[in-house]
């Protein structure tokens, strides 16, 4: 249920690289501008507000958003705290009045065309899925200008936050995270759903403990297939550092772009750095298109479960280590279903 710096890229001039990214969906971290460094955090999905303000100001802000909620929603849920915001949405921690069970409500403004499209995309996915590693939709309230998505509350924060705290993951810890993410993505791909915006900010821990499960969230850019059984996609979208080359090249692409993003996430977990990072978008996209990066660090230990796990092996099989310990991605766009 996280919101990140997701981008949709309009058509560029022919035969050149240009800085052509613009924001059209929810924004939170300046990952596209500052790589793995924290720019700002609003605590989406972790039950905490990232803004440091006095209790009185926080109560005033909560009261302000509570007043914008439809009475049908507040009759059933007690609005407790603002825990995230985006271009078209606000996320509140709430409590069911009857059961006292905590949830999160994502209130999406649908007056703007972009907000309506993001909401429709997310609903198309959440109404179809039921998996332990995918955020669960509880119920939906709809008014003329807003839609309220009641969802399970993840209190453990983002994978992004833990990478920042740890610096990097051990191979064993990275294996556990990737296994859960791959389980969720395999399930989505089986249903014909492509996420198209996988990144550490959109992967939440269900609770703060080290044994917490991971939840895949934020389906504002997801694709659920086209009429007539055509599963190829053409919309140029995603978050710059995680976009697959075929998307940048404006070619038809498949759900394999999710696997490219998972490769980038794997690199981040193991190294604590971005494989492709440049403040200049032209140079960034050139690096991605040329697959220009290297990994310097410990080589993979074949005794670890990362090499024994069937699904993770499918991802790692595309990585080749040379004698200097540099990781070269030989065929990153491997589909989980193809």
Per-residue pLDDT of the chain (338 residues; tens, 9 = 90+): 444 445 444 333 333 333 322 222 233 333 333 333 333 333 333 333 344 456 766 667 677 777 788 999 999 999 999 888 877 888 999 999 999 999 999 999 888 888 888 889 899 999 999 999 999 999 999 998 899 999 999 999 999 999 999 888 999 999 999 999 999 999 999 999 999 999 999 999 999 998 999 999 999 899 987 666 667 899 999 999 999 999 999 999 999 999 999 999 999 999 999 999 999 999 999 999 998 888 765 655 554 443 334 444 444 444 333 333 333 343 444 444 44
The 3-state DSSP composition of the chain as helix, strand, coil percent (nearest 5) reads: 30, 20, 50
Looking at residue 228, its pLDDT comes to 61
Whole-model pTM: value is: 0.73
Treating both helix axes as pointing N-terminal to C-terminal, what angle do 171-190 and 256-271 enclose, rounded to 10 degrees? Answer: 170
Q: Is 15 left (phi over 0), alpha (psi -120 to 50) or beta?
A: left
Integer Cα distance of 289 and 146 in angstroms: 39
Q: Which of 161, 183, 197, 218 is catalytic?
A: 197
Looking at residue 258, its pLDDT comes to 96
Q: Where are the domains of the chain?
A: 156-329
Q: If you ran DSSP here, which 8-state letter would residue 212 be given?
A: P
Looking at residue 67, its pLDDT comes to 78
Let me know: does 25 contact 86? Beta carbons within 8 Å. Answer: yes
Q: Is 19 assigned a catalytic role?
A: no
Percent of the chain with pLDDT over 70: 68
Superfamily of domain 156-329: Transferase(Phosphotransferase) domain 1 (1.10.510.10)
Let me know: does 199 contact 242? Beta carbons within 8 Å. Answer: yes
Looking at residue 308, its pLDDT comes to 39
CB atoms within 10 A of CB 312: 22
Looking at residue 296, its pLDDT comes to 67
Looking at residue 116, its pLDDT comes to 87
């Amino acid at each position: 249920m996280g919101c990140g710096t997701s981008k949709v890229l309009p058509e560029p001039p022919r035969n050149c690289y240009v800085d052509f990214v613009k924001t059209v969906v929810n924004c939170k971290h300046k990952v596209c501008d500052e790589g793995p460094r924290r720019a700002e955090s609003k605590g989406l999905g972790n039950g905490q507000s990232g803004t440091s303000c006095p209790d009185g100001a926080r109560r005033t802000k909560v009261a302000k958003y509570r007043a914008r909620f439809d009475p049908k929603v507040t009759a059933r849920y007690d609005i407790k705290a603002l825990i995230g915001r985006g271009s078209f949405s606000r996320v509140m921690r709430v409590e069911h009045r009857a059961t006292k069970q905590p949830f999160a409500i994502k209130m999406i403004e649908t007056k703007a065309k972009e907000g309506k499209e993001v909401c429709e995309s997310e609903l198309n996915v959440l109404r179809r899925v039921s998996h332990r590693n995918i955020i669960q939709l509880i119920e939906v309230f709809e008014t003329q200008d807003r839609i309220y998505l009641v969802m399970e509350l993840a209190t453990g924060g983002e994978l992004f936050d833990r990478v920042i705290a740890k610096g990097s993951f051990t191979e064993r810890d990275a294996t556990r995270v990737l296994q859960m993410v791959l389980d969720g993505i395999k399930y989505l791909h089986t249903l014909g759903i492509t996420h198209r915006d996988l990144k550490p900010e959109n992967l939440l821990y269900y609770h703060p403990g080290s044994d917490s499960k991971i939840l895949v969230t934020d389906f504002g850019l997801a694709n659920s297939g086209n009429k007539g059984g055509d599963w190829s996609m053409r919309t140029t979208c995603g978050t710059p550092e995680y976009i697959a080359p075929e998307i940048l090249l404006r070619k038809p692409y498949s759900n394999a772009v999710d696997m490219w993003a998972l490769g980038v996430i794997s690199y981040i977990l193991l190294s604590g750095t971005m494989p492709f990072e440049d403040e200049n978008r032209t140079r960034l996209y050139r690096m991605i298109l040329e697959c220009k990066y290297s990994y310097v660090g410990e080589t993979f230990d074949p005794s670890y479960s990362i090499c024994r796990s069937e699904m993770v092996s499918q991802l790692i099989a595309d990585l080749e280590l040379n004698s200097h310990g540099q990781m070269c991605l030989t065929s990153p766009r491997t589909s989980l279903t193809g």
